A = this chain, B = another copy of it.
């Protein structure tokens, strides 16, 4: 039984939009991620998704509003709700969602974003432990 120290785990990687599993409770995964810039519009048809901000500011855009989360705040995105997370500066988040969830949902596994003039894939491996 090993505890998880968020800061320590966050010090082990630096890639963006690539959640790493740090713990499992029953069939639920806890994943740390660093995010910066824009993610793709997507939805998860069969599950809610939890965002907890560990350090920084995360915006989540919905079709009718944008919710801004600061450190120590969380949001449950209900299943089937289209959303697009983005962060103007590096932000560290804890995601809580069932095992097996693909980060881009229905957003297309080949979906890419333009980052610094390059096109980058957003779909991450969903079984990466750290």
Contacts and interface: CB of A to CB of B under 8 A. Distances in A.
Interface string A15-43: 00000001111101010000000000000
A102 interface: no
Given A1-B62, A69-B3, A23 B54 contact: no
Interface residues of A, number: 35
B3 A73 contact: yes
A1 B78 contact: yes
Q: What is the count of identical protomers in the complex?
A: 2
4 shortest A-B CB distances, which residue pairs? A25-B48, A3-B75, A6-B72, A25-B50
Given A1-B67, A67-B1, A67-B3, A24 B76 contact: yes
Given A28-B28, A74-B30, A23 B50 contact: yes
B72 A25 contact: no
A37 to B, nearest CB: 21
B26 A74 contact: no
A67 B3 CA distance: 8
A115 interface: no
Given A1-B67, A67-B1, A96-B96, A74 B7 contact: no
